[in-house]
């Protein structure tokens, strides 16, 4: 595969995205028993080589990629596009970490690789940007900034949460036209179940891309955290593609 799978370009209208109306894609890989990780959050490689490659193409199509801090701590991901051919024309997305209390460890690969190997295969890595609560102490912010990350304090609600509906504004202020939300379960379910609509009446999430792997995990982390399965919206399937052993579904929220 030397260019993005055509079904992605066809069903993710990213060319229409702007900083004032950013495109939000939610994506994950799951087992047949709806798990995204093993016991205690142990990372499981669910995607086969074909669908993993598709995920890397999808990363190049978005300006930013967002994960929750638990995923950062448990997986220590790179969020790179290293499975794609080396090309200065292919851009990795800007990593955004949702981390209200600044638990981000300075030893995270996302930061250490940016600091020690900022250019890989002619591709410049991005500085990780951490979205935290505006209630976090200046001391904590300065300490993590000193380690090399960019910290973006954002207004939180009464439960200390960054309201998912504020994401388009946050992205717009950062000049980002699109984001791919890659998990984990708390982040995915919050964004999917957000009831607030955009000003134009469209749902907060524009696209949902799910890789289903033909495997069972058993005990582990579900796509939706236990007890938080209320208020998830119906989805409309736009396309299903078989990629190697996996099925990839592209959906939209059915309003």
Ligand X SMILES: Nc1nc(O)c(N)c(N[C@@H]2O[C@H](COP(=O)(O)O)[C@@H](O)[C@H]2O)n1
Ligand Y SMILES: NC(=O)C1=CN([C@@H]2O[C@H](COP(=O)(O)OP(=O)(O)OC[C@H]3O[C@@H](n4cnc5c(N)ncnc54)[C@H](O)[C@@H]3O)[C@@H](O)[C@H]2O)C=CC1
Q: Does 75 bind ligand X (CB under 6 A)?
A: yes
Helix ranges (H only) for the chain are 6-11, 49-61, 69-75, 109-116, 138-146, 167-173, 185-193
* 62 and 180 Cβ atoms separated by less than 8 Å: yes
CA distance 192 to 208: 9
Q: Tokens for 138, please give them.
A: 């200046």
Quick check: 25 binds ligand X (CB under 6 A)? no
Closest approach of ligand X to the CB of residue 178, in Å = 17
How far apart are the C-alpha atoms of 63 and 99, rounded to whole Å?
19
Question: Of residues 31-90, which lie at the interface with ligand Y (CB under 6 A)?
Answer: 36-37, 41, 43, 46, 67-71, 74-75
Task: Tell the smallest beta-carbon distance from residue 59 to ligand X (Å).
Answer: 8
Judged by CB, which is closer to ligand Y: 2, or 107? 107
Sign of CA dihedral 169, 78, 232, 161: negative
Task: Write out the H or E segment, with its range, that includes residue 188.
Answer: helix 185-193
185 binds ligand Y (CB under 6 A): yes
**Per-residue x/- marks for ligand X, 167-186, CB under 6 A?**
---------------xx---
Binding mask 192-211 for ligand Y (x = CB under 6 A): --------------------
Binders of ligand Y: how many residues, by CB under 6 A?
28
């Amino acid at each position: 595969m030397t260019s993005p799978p055509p079904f992605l370009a066809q069903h993710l209208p990213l060319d229409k995205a702007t900083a004032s109306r950013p495109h939000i894609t939610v994506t994950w890989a799951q087992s047949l028993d709806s798990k995204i990780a093993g016991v205690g959050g142990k990372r499981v490689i669910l995607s086969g080589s074909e669908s993993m490659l598709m995920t890397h193409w999808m990363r190049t199509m978005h300006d930013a990629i967002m994960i929750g801090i638990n995923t950062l701590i448990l997986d220590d991901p790179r969020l790179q596009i290293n499975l794609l051919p080396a090309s200065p024309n292919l851009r990795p997305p800007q990593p955004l970490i949702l981390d209200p209390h600044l638990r981000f460890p300075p030893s995270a690969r996302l930061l250490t690789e940016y600091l020690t190997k900022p250019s890989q295969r002619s591709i410049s890595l991005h500085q990780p940007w951490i979205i935290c609560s505006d209630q976090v102490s200046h001391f904590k912010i300065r300490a993590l900034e000193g380690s090399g990350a960019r910290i973006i304090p954002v207004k939180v609600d009464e439960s200390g949460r960054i309201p998912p509906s504020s994401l388009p504004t946050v992205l717009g202020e950062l000049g980002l036209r699109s984001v791919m939300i890659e998990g984990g379960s708390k982040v995915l379910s919050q964004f999917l179940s957000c009831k607030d609509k955009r000003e134009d009446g469209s749902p907060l999430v524009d696209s949902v891309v799910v890789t289903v792997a033909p495997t069972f995990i058993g005990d582990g982390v579900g796509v939706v955290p236990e007890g938080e399965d209320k208020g998830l919206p119906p989805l409309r399937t736009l396309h299903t593609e078989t990629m190697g052993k996996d099925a990839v579904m592209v959906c939209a929220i059915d309003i």
